[in-house]
Structure 1
Amino acid sequence: MDKIIESLISSGVPAIVIIAGLYFGKNLIEHFFNETIELKKKELEQENKNFQHQLDAKLQEFNVKFSSLHTERAQVIKELYQKMLKLQSSLHNIFKYEPTNFKNNNEPIVLYTNSFADFKKYYLENKIYFSESTTNKIDSFTENYSKITLEFIELIQNEGDKLNEWKILSKNSSSYTSEIINVLIIDFRNLLGVETLKQ
């Protein structure tokens, strides 16, 4: 240590200039890096704010689109459900009569046929709003209604006493349609985000 002090005293002014230069150089470098770091920090904060703003805008756009889609889907489900109930009601109305009654009054059959055609048309036009699982169930529902229709038309057109077969068809179609509609109600509620009771 004594040698360092002695060497500083003997070198004098040049040593002091070197020490002062090192000190100021160090401070200048620190100041430069601090300024650069602060500048970069501000740039990153601004980029972060811009990115956050873009994300918020995209989220808002997504929410608007999703809200609109959900509203459209809810309307489609509502109308399809109403058409389904109207179809079910018109089928039950047919079975209130005996097969021989339709020779003089085919109005219930016309109402049923129109309800069925209306249901199928609306469903096919809006099938895109439903999951594959739900469309499979609705397709099955439609196919079974077609079979029921063919069966009751055959019973109506055939001569003879078909009352027993008519009653069996009425009972089977009633239980089937109620069952599948209850299954579809659960699907519709799930699509709408409505909570269903656990069974």
Structure 2
Amino acid sequence: MEKFIYFFTGITAFTTVAIWLGKLIITKTFDLGLEKYKSSLQKDIEIHKSELAKQSLEHEVKFSKLHNDRAEKIIVLYKKVVELEKALIHSTNIAQGAEFKRDTQREKECINTIETLIAQLEFDKIFFTKETVSKVEDIIREAWQIVVQMTLVRSKANRETYFSRETENYVNYGELWNKTFERTQVEFKKLKETLADDFRELIGI
């Protein structure tokens, strides 16, 4: 009986030890697996962070280059607008002598400047929104109308046999001339300033 008790006790003790060892092995194995998984996950996170940082840097570089390119385009395009304004003022200036009736050079300069601006806009429009492009087109449209109006002034003036304030024809083209000059000084300038505000916003000023 005592042998049986010793045997049973031994078996129980062995079983307990075996169970304890099994649990220990399972726990250690699980812990090792968990640590390995955590280590692998941490590496993946670091790789992902690195990729995100790389993409972010590439985006910043591309955006910075686009911003710089756009700023350069703005400078060139706005310079063309200013040159057009100067040409229009020179063409519509009321302080011209009687020879203005035959002088078409100023209008030709305006037309050449308009065509240059059109070509520049066509080349650069990819850098701007449709709204900004539309504002430049408004300026071009206004410039054409001023040129046509000034051509009409010259046409009316050429119908006179002499330069006199007493003729009815002088009043007609004289008033139109004043309106044309005022249109250049006021309406065209408003369009130019609206565009300038748009450009300032684009470059962050």
Common fold by TM > 0.5: yes
CA-atom RMSD in angstroms: 1.9
Q: Distance in 1 between matches of 2:97 and 2:147?
A: 13
Deviation readout 1:20-48 (Å, 9 max, x if unpaired): 11111111111001110111111111111
**AA partner of residue 182 (structure 2):** K
How far 1:102 moved relative to its partner?
Answer: 2.8
The match for 1:163 among 174, 183, 187 is 174
What is the TM-score when the length of structure 1 is the normalising length?
Answer: 0.86
**Who is 2:16 aligned against?**
19
Q: Distance in 1 between matches of 2:52 and 2:80?
A: 41
Q: Distance in 2 between matches of 1:39 and 1:172?
A: 78
Q: Does 1:38 align with 2:35?
A: yes
Q: Kindly indicate whether the alpha-carbon contact (under 8 Å) linking 1:94 and 1:109 is maintained by their aligned counterparts in 2.
A: yes
**Who is 1:68 aligned against?**
65
Q: Distance in 2 between matches of 1:91 and 1:170?
A: 8
Moved more, 71-80 or 10-19: 10-19
How far 1:187 moved relative to its partner?
Answer: 0.6
Q: Does 1:58 align with 2:50?
A: no
**Who is 2:130 aligned against?**
132
Q: Kindly indicate whether the alpha-carbon contact (under 8 Å) linking 2:88 and 2:110 is maintained by their aligned counterparts in 1.
A: yes
The match for 2:148 among 147, 150, 158 is 150
Structure 1: tracts of 5 or more residues without a match:
1-7, 195-199
How far 1:59 moved relative to its partner?
Answer: 1.2
| Identity over aligned pairs, percent | 21
How far 1:136 moved relative to its partner?
Answer: 1.8
**Who is 2:25 aligned against?**
28
Q: Distance in 2 between matches of 1:128 and 1:11?
A: 91
**Who is 1:114 aligned against?**
112
Q: Summarize the Cα distance change of 1:129–1:99 in structure 2 as closer, same or farther, 3 Å threshold.
A: farther
Structure 2: tracts of 5 or more residues without a match:
161-169
Q: Give 3-state SS (helix, strand or coil) of 1:175's partner.
A: helix
Q: Give 3-state SS (helix, strand or coil) of 1:12's partner.
A: helix
- The size of the alignment, in residue pairs, is 187
Q: Kindly indicate whether the alpha-carbon contact (under 8 Å) linking 2:139 and 2:191 is maintained by their aligned counterparts in 1.
A: yes
Q: Distance in 1 between matches of 2:135 and 2:18?
A: 86
Q: Distance in 2 between matches of 1:138 and 1:64?
A: 29
Q: Distance in 1 between matches of 2:136 and 2:11?
A: 96
Q: Distance in 1 between matches of 2:58 and 2:149?
A: 51
Q: Kindly indicate whether the alpha-carbon contact (under 8 Å) linking 2:80 and 2:113 is maintained by their aligned counterparts in 1.
A: yes
**AA partner of residue 173 (structure 1):** T
Q: Distance in 2 between matches of 1:20 and 1:88?
A: 99
**Who is 1:3 aligned against?**
none
Q: Distance in 2 between matches of 1:83 and 1:99?
A: 28
Q: Distance in 2 between matches of 1:72 and 1:108?
A: 33
**Who is 1:5 aligned against?**
none
The match for 2:78 among 54, 78, 81 is 81
**AA partner of residue 24 (structure 1):** L
